[in-house]
């Protein structure tokens, strides 16, 4: 079984940085194939994450946060918005990753 990337290793930073951290975490733990898949699943435009992280100007709006949280309800909303607590609601890393993988499977079954 591949080694998981710990959520404690992720930065608190801006909400945009946390979205990037979340997408990278999902890729590294083989929940999704790449960041483009994350954007598609969440209904974001292509290169949204790259664009928002490349500038210090913007932060995601409530609509973006809602899309991400609706797609991946295992994510700790307080972490996503405020940077408080851990990235995932479930403290059991393996259980959390399995829940995220289930979210991905459900999305793929509903959309492809």
Q: Note the pLDDT tens digit of each residue in 77-107.
A: 999 999 999 999 988 989 999 999 999 999 9
Q: Note the pLDDT tens digit of each residue in 26-58.
A: 999 999 999 999 999 999 999 899 888 877 767
Strand spans (E) along 19-98: none
The pTM of this model reads: 0.84
Q: How far apart are CA 10 and CA 18, in angstroms?
A: 8
Neighbouring residues of 58: CB distance < 8 A, sequence distance ≥ 6: 16, 52
């Amino acid at each position: 079984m591949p080694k998981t990337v710990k959520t404690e290793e992720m930065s608190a930073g801006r909400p945009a940085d946390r979205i990037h951290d979340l997408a990278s975490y999902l890729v590294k733990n083989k929940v999704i194939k790449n960041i483009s898949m994350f954007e598609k699943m969440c209904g974001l435009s292509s290169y949204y994450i790259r664009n928002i992280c490349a500038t210090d100007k913007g932060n995601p709006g409530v609509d973006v946060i809602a899309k991400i949280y609706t797609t991946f309800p295992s994510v700790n909303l307080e972490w996503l918005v405020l940077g408080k607590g851990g990235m995932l609601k479930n403290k059991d890393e393996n259980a959390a990753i399995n829940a995220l993988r289930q979210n991905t499977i459900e999305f793929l079954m509903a959309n492809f």
